Structure 1
Amino acid sequence: MRVVSLVPSLTEAVAVTLPGALVGATDWCTHPAGLDVARIGGTKNPDVAAIVALRPDLVVANEEENREPDLDALRAAGIEVLVTVVRELPDAWRELERLLLACGASSRPRWLDEAETAWAEAVPYERRVRAVVPIWRRPWMVLGRDTFAGDLLARLGVENVYAAHAERYPRVPLDELRAAGADLVVLPDEPYRFTADDGPEAFDAPAALVSGRHLTWYGPSLGEAARVLSDGLRVAYGR
């Protein structure tokens, strides 16, 4: 089986579960470390011709991260494309199992069972914490409704202030974010790389700098994500 992945978290899932199956991945696929495969561009601008030249049996993608015209072009070239849909944590368990079996796994991998157990045992805050979760700056964009990252935070007791917004990733002016009455600002290091010197200074509320990989990726990182995110949130919020 020859697999090309257009999603960083799926790249990690395939590489960890099926060493040798992956022949191509995006420039943004950073895990596992030392991954030695052909690079085929970004998630939003993959080199379709380069992918076709790799002669993959399967290309794995995601309905949010990848563009339908690119996937249609791959299908038109006779390549099978598997598209995942992940909006909540249970979707991740189901879609990862489906994807890995399609890539040639003989059974559900152990790391997936362990990750599901870790989240089942995760202990949320004793009381709800209201947070805004920026994902971009210039302009400011935040998590809105129906997002995987928002679902993870909710399971840890963090209520997204904009969870009921009409848009999934709304642009919200900074003065409105500051006036939203949040107890906490959650600042991941991707897709925008918020740092201690870039982000927290814009808000009066405490800021939690968290790993974007653990907040937004659905793959092997889920095994430690609940612990890593909880530790980061508690350090910032002090509860």
Structure 2
Amino acid sequence: MRVVSLVPSLTEAIAVTAPGLLVGVTDWCSRPPALDARRIGGTKNPDVAAVLGLRPDLVIANEEENREPDLTALRDAGVQVLVTEVRGLDQAFRELERVLVTGCSLARPRWLDEAEEAWAAVEPLPRLRVVVPVWRRPWMVLGRDTFAGDLLARLGVVNVYAGHAQRYPRIPLDELRASGAQAVVLPDEPYRFTADDGPEAFPGLPAVLVDGRYLTWYGPSLVKAPQALSAALRAALGAAGRAG
């Protein structure tokens, strides 16, 4: 098969499972580091002509990351497009199997079993209220119905804005500071929060700097994600307890 992936998470999942299957990927597909495939633009602005030039048997996409006009253009040209939807962990596991086994005709990989086992063994933390910015200028946070929010909930985290009407609401910084959160979780993607860029906006709140791949990617990273995220959150919980 010749496969083009327009989704970084799924690019990694396919490349780890069947090296050489991918002939085209986006500029944002950074995993695995030595990935050898044609770059065809961004997730929001792929070069449709370049994709068609690769003669793919299958294009992998996601309803949130990719634009419908691009997918329609590919379908109109006769290309099979598999569109995924991932709003929670269980759905992510189902979609990964659909992409790899049904879409790419591969055997179910061992790492997918290991990921399910790792998350089934999670011991939730004591209740920890957090805000989770994903952007600044303007400030945007995790709201309702998100994959990252579901992961955090399984770890015992209470997202202050989980009940918001929007999935990624824009919230003024003053409101975030007054939200009653015990900590702020700062991933390094899509906005690259760092120790010097983000924590200073929340004086007095423990800042949990996390690898965005463990929080927002659905693929092989799910094997290590529960342990990595739990360790970071437990440190913040201890800091919140000392502050209280």
* TM-score bucket (shorter structure): over 0.9
Is residue 136–residue 191 contact of structure 2 (8 Å, CA) maintained in 1? yes
Q: What's the offset of the Cα at 1:77?
A: 1.1
For 1:157 and 1:102, locate their aligned partners in 2 and report how far apart those are by CA, in whole Å. Answer: 33
For 2:102 and 2:176, locate their aligned partners in 1 and report how far apart those are by CA, in whole Å. Answer: 43
For 1:149 and 1:172, locate their aligned partners in 2 and report how far apart those are by CA, in whole Å. Answer: 18
Unaligned runs of 5+ in 1: none
Q: What's the offset of the Cα at 1:236?
A: 2.7
Provide the aligned length of Structure 1 versus Structure 2. Answer: 238
For 1:65 and 1:104, locate their aligned partners in 2 and report how far apart those are by CA, in whole Å. Answer: 20
Cα deviations across residues 42-96 of structure 1 (Å, max 9, x unaligned)? Answer: 1111111110100000000111111111111111111110011111100011000
For 1:146 and 1:57, locate their aligned partners in 2 and report how far apart those are by CA, in whole Å. Answer: 32
- Tell me the residue number matched to 2:195: 196
- Tell me the residue number matched to 2:179: 180
Q: Which amino acid aligns with 1:156?
A: L
- Tell me the residue number matched to 2:127: 128
For 1:122 and 1:105, locate their aligned partners in 2 and report how far apart those are by CA, in whole Å. Answer: 31
- Tell me the residue number matched to 2:79: 79
Q: What's the offset of the Cα at 1:20?
A: 1.1
For 1:171 and 1:106, locate their aligned partners in 2 and report how far apart those are by CA, in whole Å. Answer: 41
Q: Is 1:8 the counterpart of 2:8 in the alignment?
A: yes
- Tell me the residue number matched to 1:101: 101
Q: What's the offset of the Cα at 1:104?
A: 3.1
- Tell me the residue number matched to 2:166: 167
Q: What's the offset of the Cα at 1:123?
A: 1.2
Unaligned runs of 5+ in 2: none
Aligned to 2:220, the other structure's residue is in SS state coil
Q: Which amino acid aligns with 2:98?
A: R
Aligned to 1:130, the other structure's residue is in SS state strand
- Tell me the residue number matched to 1:150: 149
Aligned to 1:78, the other structure's residue is in SS state coil
Cα deviations across residues 2-21 of structure 1 (Å, max 9, x unaligned)? Answer: 00000100000000111111
For 2:199 and 2:230, locate their aligned partners in 1 and report how far apart those are by CA, in whole Å. Answer: 18
For 1:111 and 1:198, locate their aligned partners in 2 and report how far apart those are by CA, in whole Å. Answer: 34
Cα deviations across residues 140-188 of structure 1 (Å, max 9, x unaligned)? Answer: 0000000000000000000110000000000000000000000110000
Q: Which amino acid aligns with 2:195?
A: A
Is residue 208–residue 237 contact of structure 1 (8 Å, CA) maintained in 2? no
Q: Is 1:67 the counterpart of 2:67 in the alignment?
A: yes
For 1:37 and 1:193, locate their aligned partners in 2 and report how far apart those are by CA, in whole Å. Answer: 25
Q: What's the offset of the Cα at 1:107?
A: 2.5
Provide the aligned C-alpha RMSD in A: 1.0
Is residue 128–residue 237 contact of structure 2 (8 Å, CA) maintained in 1? no
Q: Which amino acid aligns with 1:179?
A: A
For 2:30 and 2:215, locate their aligned partners in 1 and report how far apart those are by CA, in whole Å. Answer: 16
Aligned to 2:224, the other structure's residue is in SS state helix
Is residue 87–residue 148 contact of structure 1 (8 Å, CA) maintained in 2? yes
